[in-house]
Amino acid sequence: MQNKITNNKSEKKYILLLFAVSMFFTGMSGIINEYILAKLSTDILGNSAIQWGIVIGVMLLMMGIGGSIQLLIKNNQLITGFVTIEILLAILGSSAPIVVLWAFGYTSHNFLLFLYFYIIFIGLLVGAEIPLLIRLSKLYLKETTHVISLIFSMDYIGSFIGTLVWLFFIIKIKLPLYKMSYVVASFNFIAALITFLYLTKTERNKNNGKIIIFIITSFMIIYSFINSDKWENLIYQKLFKDPIIYKIDTPYQSIVLTRNSTTKKHYLYINGNTQLYEGDEKIYHESLVIPALSLWNRSRVLILGGGDGCALREVLKFKDVKEVTLVDLDPEMIKFAKNNPIMKKINNNSFKDSRVQTLKADFINYTDKQKDIYKEKGYNFETKLYEYEKIAKVNVFNVDAKKFLENVNKFYDVVIIDFPDPNNIELTKLYSLEFFINVKRKLSKNGVFVMQSTSPTYSKKAFWTIKKTMEAAGFNTVPYHIDVPSFGDWGFIMGSQRKINKDYLISRFKNLKNWEVKTKEIDPATFISSLNFRKGLLDDNKNYIINTLANPVLLDFYLLDGWKDY
């Protein structure tokens, strides 16, 4: 291609604007594509720190290689080459989430091939963009030094804006990744279209074939966008053994509810992991809540996590509980557990509107904005009125548990912690020494706390590391475990600043036939038996490393050492 250097000042401005806009859009879409692929990899494989590092690292490597490969494009094909790259990025970027999800559902053993196909080729194409645009600038503009500076500046600015869009828009709204990828793809398509239309404006009659390609590509993307919900539902169903009856993607997690065709009972999944099974969840929640609340004072109870409302259901059985505070990060989880008819049945409507007040983080230090909970006693034929008895005050906060503990100005008699397993770096922080120290600061002197602590069978090192970390925070601890059919052998750890051990709990409950409240699965004898561990499950390493924010060893114990034989 011969040089088309223009001396027309107006023309120069338009070309500079074209390059600036193109580079801005490509920079923004490039960084968001990296984030989408990293998030996609994390959602499927877990361990966000490793997945984000691998995906972005591989893409940067491919970008470097792409910068060299673009030299194979001849000078007389630069416009075609740049436009082709942007169209390919639009197609690959828009299809990546739905295709990778399909591969995971239908070819689970080979889905990494699909994932890294997108990572590698999107990286190569992104890496070719800047060098190609620089070469194009030399064909149209005489002074290229400031043009090159502009191209790099707009790429970096676009990347920064893309980061802001990701942080403050994409992850804040409910639009799933497979939808957002089409929006991002439109940026590449716009860059290709405006570049093509302007730089070939004098050759329109020679470009009918390329115009047809643009039209076909646009229809492909629009058609895929329109049908993506249907495709996603079909693919998602493949990931679960039972029919999906409810699904929502929140900024924090994916929530799926299924119904077993045989038992007609329901499974709740969070990010693909079983959260509860209607047929045996009472084993888990009664084990988590009832023993701790049966020990000492229970006037004020704090629940961290437990957005499904089942732990709250168990707490509200105790009539002398005066105040309950539930802290769960995801407001959509609370809405789901509060309003979905199936969840309301499972949690016994523990989030009923008239009984529970949901408050924002601004109200953490409040003292007088609580709602009393009343339970209907019956109809009084003398007064001709229904009578109610006061049960408790319940408050629900949608805020990070760590932030809540750092800001709340109250002490609690019982703290119940029902977090997901520590399968990523964010969750590992909630099992750290620093977190347990914060728990201790908000626990009354004679208080007790209990935490689900993953499985001592499937993740032995993680279980005992959690116990050691609690003890390093100044707690006396007692581990126990029970078989939950949908989970397998599952562990809990109870902690207190009071002297508490296995013998104390046995003596405390051995003469009880039943708890003070009605339970379906767990009685005192069952709990006492759960205090015993077979020899192979006992702590055989007295030198476990404490899990801290600076040294989150629990993540490796859980991911690399736990579950490896199962």
- The predicted-structure confidence for 28-48, as pLDDT tens digits, reads as follows 999 998 998 888 888 777 767
Q: Are strands 254-259 and 266-270 parallel, antiparallel or unpaired?
A: antiparallel
What is the average pLDDT across 391-408? Answer: 74
Task: Give the per-residue pLDDT at 366.
Answer: 39
- Which residues make Cβ contacts (< 8 Å) with residue 145, sequence separation at least 6? none
> Is the pLDDT reported for residue 201 higher than 80?
no
Task: Give the per-residue pLDDT at 544.
Answer: 78
Task: Give the per-residue pLDDT at 448.
Answer: 96
Task: Give the per-residue pLDDT at 43.
Answer: 77
- Which residues make Cβ contacts (< 8 Å) with residue 440, sequence separation at least 6? 473, 474, 475, 497
Q: How confident is the model at residue 375 (pLDDT cuts 50, 70, 90)?
A: very low
Q: Are the CB atoms for 324 and 301 separated by under 8 Å?
A: yes
Q: Are strands 323-327 and 443-452 parallel, antiparallel or unpaired?
A: unpaired
Task: Give the per-residue pLDDT at 41.
Answer: 85
Give 277 or 101, the one with higher predicted confidence. 277
> Is the pLDDT reported for residue 376 higher than 50?
no
Supply 547's token pair. 């899990």
- Which residues make Cβ contacts (< 8 Å) with residue 230, sequence separation at least 6? none
Q: Are strands 357-359 and 443-452 parallel, antiparallel or unpaired?
A: unpaired
Query: Which candidate, 109, 125, 107, places its Cα nearest to that of 37?
Result: 125
- Which single residue is written with the structure tokens 């470009």? 207
Task: Give the per-residue pLDDT at 39.
Answer: 86
What residues does each domain of the chain span? Answer: 9-238, 244-273, 280-456+474-538
Give 262 or 50, the one with higher predicted confidence. 262
Q: Which of 96-105, 185-194, 428-437 has the lowest mean pLDDT?
A: 185-194
Task: Give the per-residue pLDDT at 390.
Answer: 47
> Is the pLDDT reported for residue 279 higher than 80?
yes
What is the average pLDDT across 228-239? Answer: 83
Q: Is 368 annotated as a binding residue?
A: no
Task: Give the per-residue pLDDT at 556.
Answer: 86
- Which residues make Cβ contacts (< 8 Å) with residue 526, sequence separation at least 6? 482
Q: Which run of H or of E encompasses 248? A: strand 244-249
Catalytic status, residue 418? yes
What is the average pLDDT across 85-101? Answer: 89
What is the average pLDDT across 79-107? Answer: 87
Q: How confident is the model at residue 219 (pLDDT cuts 50, 70, 90)?
A: confident
- Which residues make Cβ contacts (< 8 Å) with residue 175, sequence separation at least 6? 183
Task: Give the per-residue pLDDT at 78.
Answer: 84
DSSP for 198-214, written as a single string: HHTGGGGGG-HHHHHHH
How far apart (Å, rounded) are the C-alpha atoms in residues 379 and 387? 6
Task: Give the per-residue pLDDT at 221.
Answer: 82
How far apart (Å, rounded) are the C-alpha atoms in residues 160 and 153? 11
Give 228 or 382, the one with higher predicted confidence. 228
Supply 316's token pair. 């509200």
Q: Which of 31-35, 138-142, 159-163, 222-226 has the lowest mean pLDDT?
A: 138-142
Q: Are the CB atoms for 395 and 510 separated by under 8 Å?
A: no
> Is the pLDDT reported for residue 159 higher than 50?
yes
- Which single residue is written with the structure tokens 């909970």? 373
Give 551 or 560, the one with higher predicted confidence. 551
The CATH number of 280-456+474-538 is 3.40.50.150
Q: Residues of the chain with pLDDT > 70: what percent?
A: 86
What is the average pLDDT across 412-416? Answer: 95
> Is the pLDDT reported for residue 247 higher than 70?
yes
Q: Residues of the chain with pLDDT > 90: what percent?
A: 43
Q: How far is residue 39 CA from its own chain's centroid?
A: 9
Give residue 283's identity as a one-letter amino acid code: I
* Class of 9-238 in CATH: mainly alpha
How far apart (Å, rounded) are the C-alpha atoms in residues 187 and 172? 20
pLDDT digits (tens, 9 = 90+) for 471-518: 999 999 999 999 999 989 999 999 999 999 999 999 999 999 999 999
Q: Is 539 annotated as a binding residue?
A: no
Q: What is the CA angle 16-19-25, rounded to 5?
A: 140
Q: Which of 86-90, 322-326, 537-541 has the lowest mean pLDDT?
A: 537-541
Q: What is the CA angle 138-143-147, rounded to 5?
A: 70
285 to 317, 362, 413: CA distances (angstroms) = 12, 30, 19
Strand, coil or helix: what is 533?
Answer: coil
pLDDT digits (tens, 9 = 90+) for 316-359: 999 888 888 898 888 889 889 999 999 999 999 988 744 345 55
> Is the pLDDT reported for residue 389 higher than 50?
no
Q: How confident is the model at residue 392 (pLDDT cuts 50, 70, 90)?
A: low
Q: How confident is the model at residue 203 (pLDDT cuts 50, 70, 90)?
A: low
The whole model's pTM is what? 0.78
> Is the pLDDT reported for residue 385 higher than 60?
no
> Is the pLDDT reported for residue 252 higher than 90?
no
Q: DSSP alpha helices (H): ranges in 1-47?
A: 9-45
Q: How confident is the model at residue 383 (pLDDT cuts 50, 70, 90)?
A: low
Q: Is 401 annotated as a binding residue?
A: yes
Task: Give the per-residue pLDDT at 363.
Answer: 45
Query: Which candidate, 95, 96, 92, places its Cα nearest to that of 125?
Result: 92
Q: Is 266 annotated as a binding residue?
A: no
Secondary structure of 293-362 as H, E, C letters:
HCCCCCCEEEEEECCCCHHHHHHCCCCCCCEEEEECCCHHHHHHHHHCHHHHHHCCCCCCCCCCEEECHH
Mean predicted lDDT score pLDDT of the chain? 84
Q: Is 330 annotated as a binding residue?
A: no
> Is the pLDDT reported for residue 9 higher than 80?
no
Q: Is 146 annotated as a binding residue?
A: no
Q: What is the largest CA-CA distance in the chain?
A: 102
What is the average pLDDT across 428-435? Answer: 94
> Is the pLDDT reported for residue 76 higher than 90?
no
Query: Length of the chain, please?
Result: 566
> Is the pLDDT reported for residue 368 higher than 50?
no
Of the listed 418, 523, 539, 561, which one is catalytic?
Answer: 418
Q: Are the CB atoms for 240 and 256 separated by under 8 Å?
A: yes
How far apart (Å, rounded) are the C-alpha atoms in residues 201 and 207? 10
